[in-house]
Structure 1
Amino acid sequence: MSTIDEDRWPAIADVPDHARARRRARKVESEFALACEKAGLRLEGEDPDLRVFEEALFYRLADVGWLGLGESFMAGEWTSPRLAMVLERLLRAGYNPKTPVRTGVRYDGSVAPLELHRLSGGDSTNTYATLFSSGVPTMQRETLSQTARTKHTPPLSIEVTTLSDPTVVERDDLTEAQSRATQALLDVANVGTGAYVLDLPAQTPALTLAALARHATVDALASDPDVLASLEQVAQIADGALEVVPTLTPLPDPGAFRRRFDACVSVDSAESMDPRSLQHFFKVVEQALVPGGRLALQTLVAHEPSKSVAGCTELIRAYVTPAFHLHDRDDILHLMLKSQGMKATDVLHFGGHYVEGLRLERERFEGHEREAAALGFDAVYRRLWIYQLALKEALILAELADAIIIGASAHRARL
């Protein structure tokens, strides 16, 4: 605990010691042990699945549930050589400690430091998504069920492709798999020579660089200073094909662009948006695209609404992305329908590939912790990064979350 910067990590440095936490700690400890037993997790022996060093874990669990479990890991009060497996089994066992979940927080445009992407994926321009060369696609046509908000619109039929899990995955495959996922997103958006492309909001330069390589012209919008600086470096060698658009707000107003675009691409951002911000995003895209223009959106989604999902992801909201929200896939499609200017046409499910990429990224980061420390990421931050990667792995492995790419078309002219 003495190594924790109290100014930077006040909640981590301060173990809950109020009456309620003390009163409930023993009960919570028993519940945690029972959950571990139910999940088949070993707490003792020569090679335990997790090892608890400090009873402060149970004070934190008593105070803020899942958030406390993550904060305790950040504090170094417990550890695991198989972290993703531990979290997956706890989720599958139905472990659901009472966790206060903050709501009403709006999307603020914050992104993870690009250096963490480099240390995790080997290239600072890469994103989380991965598509490996193996895996068999299966396709079917689905009709989206109507809701009270969409009952006056025609039923939506979409082509759904599910990519089977990759058969062989090696460490050296990571960079190529990340590049393949980026190319797949551009394919969905029909990005080719001469296309005008909007990267909204840019998370890393990955999509912009890939679109430029296809001889497209790109407007990349971002509010994060590091992302903007990285994009400006690309613009210097793009020979006028890239316009970097700094914004004071996370998302622009609809109709704010000087020109309209053939395609809009977005990656790793929808899960960072609360429902209202995501609805605003679709309004912006609707107004930005030419009739027939394409949207390609890659995001994590929840398989179904779950209190445990909301609880366990509270750590991400607290320390990484304030408005993090795993939307249900059909909720996203209904939001598109509600805009009346966007029509989803196809969905690709590739969670088995995404989760393998997360595993490789986590393992690679664990092998570069010394470099991360030299760059100023302290032990608490490094454990945070490892935990959030493992948590996303666990959610997919426990079949509570999935990774998808949605393709959609703008089907009417802007008014």
Structure 2
Amino acid sequence: MSTHIPNTDHTHTHDLTPEDAHRWPDVAAVPTGRAARLRGLAAGRLFRYAAADLDVRIEYPDGSRNGRYAQSVQPRMILRRPDDFARRVGSGGLIGFGESFMAGDWSTDDLVGVLTPFASRVARLVPRPLQALRPLVLPKHPAEEENTTANTRSNIARHYDLSNELFATFLDETMTYSSALFADPATTDIDDLPAPDWADLADAQRRKVDRLLDLAGVREGTRLLEIGTGWGELCLRAAARGATVRSVTLSSEQRDLALRRVAEAGVADRVQIDLLDYRLVEGTYDAVVSVEMIEAVGEKYWPTYFSTIDRLLAPGGRVAIQAITMPHDRMRASRHTYTWVHKYIFPGGQLTSLKALRSVTAQHTSLRLTDTMAMGTHYAETLRLWRERFTARRREVAELGFDATFMRMWQFYLAYSEAGFRAGYLDVHQLVFARPDRGEPR
């Protein structure tokens, strides 16, 4: 049976103010034209097929429902403009899915609850024969977002230089923007603990940092290199141990605040923070620590990242890295896909896998992965606390000059990330790299 495709597009709507629409043109504009209509029809049918087996209740404007939980109350994905939603997804894949939420094409009162089932079945949502077509129809990575020395600083600035005050609205007093550790997984299962609350977060962040410093053997007299400063908490805690710290970052906003915190703590004589690409670091260090920075390196530059560390590490030294990971097969399948997270949150980013890390260090360095600890459930709880805090302080975010579309974007980003960890699609590890049979660090 043929389907009639009209030659004219209807007038599309969105929830953006005129000012927001000017700032967010790709969110305001729904794809038009015959190709967009055809892709939208295909995407709409594919979505209904995929959602039929998801633990989500999909509600359409005509009153129809879809999903395994079609008759239940939660979680609900309310499609307000299903045609626009389908066109965005058909033309942009995951980018269109996120933009449709930013535009208000769909809504929910349980965003994590809706996104988690999608994350759980991400490898099976699109039938395998159609997955091969993704490179032909979906957007490609822009060349200007490749993590060359010329591009990397602008990639970092687009996220980390938004505003220190913005991050302060949802981070705890340590200003730590990575997974916390609410208990040592070797001795305590987080599922056996009460759900962490805001009062637990700062101590959990300090526990995470201290464990990484322990893994790297940081103590009195250690020459420590930190790749990716954040807002300085690791510098402070390493200096308190008596280490001499050099930290490098490409975020001027982060560096400014980290330097202030170091000075206020009275350890400026033991901490140096440089606005410098990690590839340009010189010297010799007894330990190297890097917390969730490898995600910004890019697969093409993983050999450079680890060979740089190998070059800088003193004999007997150790490397402690906290890294977000994904299953190796999913990493390979998605490595060339340009996603909503790339476009709006982390340009140039790429998650790695444990297999990839073992391979790149074996091929390009004398370093070997000697210890791993998974803590993905801790990240899910960290993200929940950030998301709840961000939502509760929306008025303060608005007073900083961020519009409603930005806030929907960040709500989606935090929930999307939390769902990935709750589904087990994402994990985060603390990792130790060392040179075999080279002795202990000094």
Q: What is the 5 A alignment of 1:258-337?
A: 259-306=283-330, 314-337=339-362
In the alignment, structure 1 residue 72 sits paired with structure 2 residue 97: no
Task: Tell me: higher relative CO, structure 1 or 2? Use CA pairs within 8 A at least 6 residues apart.
Answer: 1
In the alignment, structure 1 residue 121 sits paired with structure 2 residue 171: yes
Q: Deviations over 1:39-94 (max 9, x none)?
A: 03112386661222223222211111111011111222222222122122123343
Give the conservation status (yes or no) of the 8 Å contact 1:197–1:265.
yes
Supply the AA of the counterpart residue of 1:74.
Answer: M
Query: Which of residues 117, 135, 153 is equivalent to 1:89?
Result: 117
Which moved further from structure 2: 44-53 or 336-345? 44-53
For structure 1, which runs of at least 5 residues remain unmatched after alignment? Answer: 139-162
**Counterpart in 2 of 1:154?**
none
TM-score where L is the length of structure 2: 0.79
In the alignment, structure 1 residue 193 sits paired with structure 2 residue 231: no
Once residues 165 and 235 of structure 1 are traced to their aligned partners in structure 2, the CA distance between those partners, rounded to angstroms, is 36
Give the conservation status (yes or no) of the 8 Å contact 1:279–1:335.
yes
Q: Deviations over 1:329-362 (max 9, x none)?
A: 1111221122332222111111111211112211
Cα separation, partners in 2 of 1:116 and 1:342, compared to 1, 3 Å: farther
Cα separation, partners in 2 of 1:203 and 1:173, compared to 1, 3 Å: same
Cα shift at 1:406: 0.8
Once residues 270 and 50 of structure 2 are traced to their aligned partners in structure 1, the CA distance between those partners, rounded to angstroms, is 55
Aligned CA RMSD, in angstroms, stands at 2.6
**Counterpart in 1 of 2:271?**
242
Give the conservation status (yes or no) of the 8 Å contact 2:170–2:390.
yes
Once residues 408 and 70 of structure 1 are traced to their aligned partners in structure 2, the CA distance between those partners, rounded to angstroms, is 36
Query: Which of residues 398, 409, 413 is equivalent to 1:388?
Result: 413
Supply the AA of the counterpart residue of 1:106.
Answer: E
Which moved further from structure 2: 43-52 or 224-233? 43-52
Cα separation, partners in 2 of 1:386 and 1:312, compared to 1, 3 Å: farther
Q: Deviations over 1:124-175 (max 9, x none)?
A: 621221111374459xxxxxxxxxxxxxxxxxxxxxxxx6645322312222
Is the radius of gyration larger for structure 1 or structure 2?
A: 2
**Counterpart in 1 of 2:363?**
338
Query: Which of residues 239, 252, 274 is equivalent to 2:279?
Result: 252
Supply the AA of the counterpart residue of 1:28.
Answer: A
Identity of aligned residues (%): 27
Once residues 222 and 170 of structure 1 are traced to their aligned partners in structure 2, the CA distance between those partners, rounded to angstroms, is 30
In the alignment, structure 1 residue 60 sits paired with structure 2 residue 88: yes
Q: Which protein has the bigger helix share?
A: 2
In the alignment, structure 1 residue 360 sits paired with structure 2 residue 385: yes
For structure 2, which runs of at least 5 residues remain unmatched after alignment? Answer: 1-14, 60-70
Cα shift at 1:115: 3.5
**Counterpart in 1 of 2:55?**
40
SS of the aligned residue for 2:23 comes to coil
**Counterpart in 2 of 1:145?**
none
TM-score where L is the length of structure 1: 0.84
Which moved further from structure 2: 350-359 or 304-313? 304-313
Cα shift at 1:200: 0.6
Give the conservation status (yes or no) of the 8 Å contact 2:196–2:381.
no
Cα shift at 1:226: 0.3
Query: Which of residues 34, 50, 53 is equivalent to 2:77?
Result: 50
**Counterpart in 2 of 1:232?**
259
Supply the AA of the counterpart residue of 1:169.
Answer: A
